[in-house]
Chain A
């Protein structure tokens, strides 16, 4: 791995960490419930991107499966919470 890719991946990890901190701050201070759900949605997408970068860093396919699982369960979780906000119950 040349220094170009090494430092680019470190910089990408740093940017994603900043992005996750931004989403986390909105999750903590969000004035309403829908703000918090949206911040959680953003947080899982950033975490999934971080998993993809880690997969490139360690040259391993395992992180890819983890990213897929995060995408799957993140969607289920945020949709269930949005449905709960809309109706007051998840499954009618």
Chain B
């Protein structure tokens, strides 16, 4: 890949960007690996949330630092993505969880016990 743009960025910005990009993608990889590894659906649903929270946050910090230093102005649009993901990921997870509980109960499968309503 020779078309990488060579920018005169200060060293600290490059190091911060590199660290947070690698951290974010490592968290996403761990979460997705848990998706393959864990045995049942009700355990598996916990794993990808790691990538949806910490992964997206770290990548957003990397993006903000890189574009802010590169463009000499504060680049805050990336906050929009992380806010949007933080709002929508729980909704999807709740819907999926209810759907899974409903379907498992319908065929009387192995579901987690009900919470005590007090």
Interface residues of A (CB under 8 A from B): 1-2, 4-6, 8-9, 11-13, 15-16, 18-20, 22-23, 25-26, 32-35, 37-39, 41-42, 45-46, 48-49, 52-53, 55-59, 61, 64, 67-68, 71-72, 75, 78-79, 82-83, 85-86
Contacts and interface: CB of A to CB of B under 8 A. Distances in A.
B100 A34 contact: yes
Interface in B3-31: 3-7, 9, 11, 14-15, 17-19, 21-22, 24-26, 28-29, 31
B92 A2 contact: no
Q: Looking at chain B's contact residues, is the secondary structure mostly helix, strand, loop, or mixed? A: helix
Contact of B21 (A9, A33, A58, A64): A9
Interface residues of B, number: 57
Contacts of B36: 22, 25-26
A59 B81 CA distance: 18
Given A45-B51, A64-B63, A19 B33 contact: yes
Given A4-B14, A39-B35, A53-B25, 9 more contacts: A8-B18, A15-B28, A15-B29, A18-B29, A32-B41, A49-B24, A68-B84, A71-B88, A83-B99
